[in-house]
Structure formats: structure tokens, C-alpha cells
């Protein structure tokens, strides 16, 4: 399927945001507690935490993950708006192609 990779990436991004939400509500929180809380395997939680840390959104502490004090969470909203524009463009292209069939 042409859009399979896009769907997989969206699912991973959603998981990262679920982890971020759980960190925000329960910080500081460790991998084991996070995994139990959101019912995900530890290796997936660990990966999401690594991505969030590399993105400058969370920081690891001796007590667990916490949202970085100066994290630019508004940038996430901007990125979502960009993605929504792209999705609308994809939808338009699909409509054009399907209408010709």
C-alpha cells in the first residue's frame, strides 16, 4: 500500500504523544511505571522517551522523566498544522485520481 509507511509513522507519533501526556500528568516518572500506566512494552516507552528527549521536550532525572522547563510544546501544534495541510493535499490528490478511474 502506498500510504502504509505514513500510517506507521503516524501511529508511532501518536505513541510518543501518549508517552508525553503520561509524563506531563505523572512527572517525574520512570520507564517501568510509564509502561504499566499506558500499557505499552518497556522497549517502546524507552524509544519514545529517547525521541522526546532528543527533541528537547523531556529530560531524564534520577527520579524519572520530566518535561523540560523551556520545552517548546507550541511547536508541536505548529507541526500538527503542517501535517494537516499535507494530509488535505494528499486527500485532494486521491480524489482527483479516483475521480478519473
pLDDT digits (tens, 9 = 90+) for 11-49: 999 999 999 999 999 999 999 999 999 999 999 999 999
Work out the pLDDT band at 100, boundaries 50, 70, 90: confident
Cβ pair 64, 24 in contact under 8 A: no
- The pLDDT tens digits of the residues spanning 51-64 come to 999 999 999 999 99
CATH code for residues 4-100: 1.10.10.10
Is pLDDT at 92 greater than 90 in this prediction? yes
Region 74-90: mean pLDDT is: 94
Classified as helix, coil or strand, 59 is strand
| Domain boundaries, given as residue ranges, for the chain | 4-100
Task: Give the list of residues 6+ apart from residue 40 with CB closer than 8 angstroms, or none.
Answer: 15, 18, 19, 34
- % of the chain at pLDDT higher than 70: 100
Is pLDDT at 82 greater than 80 in this prediction? yes
Is pLDDT at 95 greater than 80 in this prediction? yes
Amino acid at each position: 500500500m502506498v500510504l502504509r509507511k505514513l500510517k506507521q509513522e503516524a501511529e508511532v507519533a501518536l505513541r510518543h504523544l501518549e508517552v508525553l501526556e503520561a509524563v506531563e500528568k505523572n512527572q517525574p516518572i520512570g520507564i517501568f511505571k510509564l509502561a504499566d500506566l499506558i500499557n505499552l512494552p518497556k522497549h517502546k516507552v524507552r524509544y519514545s522517551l529517547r525521541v522526546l528527549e532528543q527533541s528537547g521536550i523531556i529530560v531524564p532525572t534520577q527520579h524519572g522523566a520530566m518535561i523540560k522547563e523551556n520545552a517548546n510544546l507550541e511547536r508541536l501544534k505548529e507541526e500538527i498544522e503542517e501535517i494537516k495541510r499535507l494530509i488535505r493535499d494528499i486527500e485532494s490528490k486521491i480524489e482527483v485520481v479516483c475521480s478519473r478511474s
